[in-house]
Structure 1
């Protein structure tokens, strides 16, 4: 059975926990050198953030890649680069899960609900959004299902649209829900660090 393999990786990783601002922040360091940071709401145990990074070939830390949570605001750039920047009206995809579902929000999509179609590409292991007016097309994967080696199920997928935002919901499989319960028990046992969070420092 594949599911415990991911749980075992999490159990085997070096973990450091920090508490503050009503959040539990957990830093994982895997044997491969990969790092993962998760933040949970301490009242609801809801996952607020998950991000990853790995070292490059020279051993320096790469940039964080956000899997769940608000995208990072762009860092302050040099003046000459400020002239080329993304339009604030471009669609923005972010993932913000609930207790029982994976959820994605795509802001700045003004078209009515009947324009959108959301489907599953089982072979490519991804979800696909497209519009009948050919104005928007997006593919995205569900890394959690990949880690547990679970198939995508079109019946778990639904969407709604309001306030120029398309909200896509995928019901979490029972295997994922059970693993999250187990992990939460593990995280509560981690001794909370007092100084530093064990993260790889940027060069």
Structure 2
């Protein structure tokens, strides 16, 4: 199996798990010092969010990088005023369904025939470009890296609605197998259920940066 290295990384991590309502949060401390948080739906078993902690010695602050889930606009302080990231710029979010990986790029008003989507199999990457040269994005797919799968452009599905470009890729069998193996491993992690959790927020920093 080509995802052996990722599964070994998951198994070797120090893991903790809590349930709040219909969401299970799993916090990973890996042996290399990195941290990851995942949120799973307890109703469907699908992963809803995945984020990695990025440490910065320069500003002495921890940031969270969202790999999977809805984009959260950043906020920052300037001259004693709280400013927000512009919401009119195109931004990318990713979600995983039972059968596909789906990317949504919002604030793209151009018609469907404007977009060209290509795949770089060796780099596990999907590239989006517009014929009017208004948008260009390389999308690295960590899930494909972990199971060493090379995406093919013919397996992509594309649609455009409400100024949003929606790209879908049907999950290859190797990815489905990897997801099942990870879920099986998480069954062995002790999980605490809270009605009103008061412990440290596992996603601290995601909405306060």
What secondary structure, in the 3-state scheme, does the structure 2 residue paired with 1:96 have?
Answer: strand
Partner of 1:47: 47
The TM-score, its normalising length taken from structure 2, stands at: 0.84
Q: CA RMSD in A?
A: 2.6
**Alignment size in residue pairs:** 200
Deviation of 1:72 (Å)? 2.5
Deviation of 1:167 (Å)? 0.5
CA–CA separation in structure 1 for the residues paired with 2:85 and 2:13: 37
Quick check: 2:156–2:170 contact (8 Å CA) kept in 1? yes
Deviation of 1:64 (Å)? 0.6
- Structure 1 window deviating more from structure 2 (64-73 vs 144-153): it is 144-153
Deviation of 1:112 (Å)? 1.1
Deviation of 1:123 (Å)? 4.6
Partner of 1:186: 185
Partner of 1:29: 29
What secondary structure, in the 3-state scheme, does the structure 1 residue paired with 2:96 have?
Answer: coil
Query: Is 2:171 the partner of 1:172?
Result: yes
Deviation of 1:61 (Å)? 6.1
What secondary structure, in the 3-state scheme, does the structure 1 residue paired with 2:178 have?
Answer: helix
Structure 1 runs, 4 residues or longer, greater than 6 Å off: none
CA–CA separation in structure 2 for the residues paired with 1:2 and 1:178: 11
Which structure has the highest strand share of the two? Answer: 2
5 Å-filtered alignment, 1:70-149, equals 70-79=70-79, 86-149=85-148
In structure 2, relative to structure 1, the CA distance for the partners of 1:199 and 1:163 (3 Å cut) is closer
CA distances 1:117-137 after superposition (whole Å, capped 9, x unpaired): 111123543211111222211
Q: What stretches of structure 1 of length at least 5 have no aligned partner? A: none
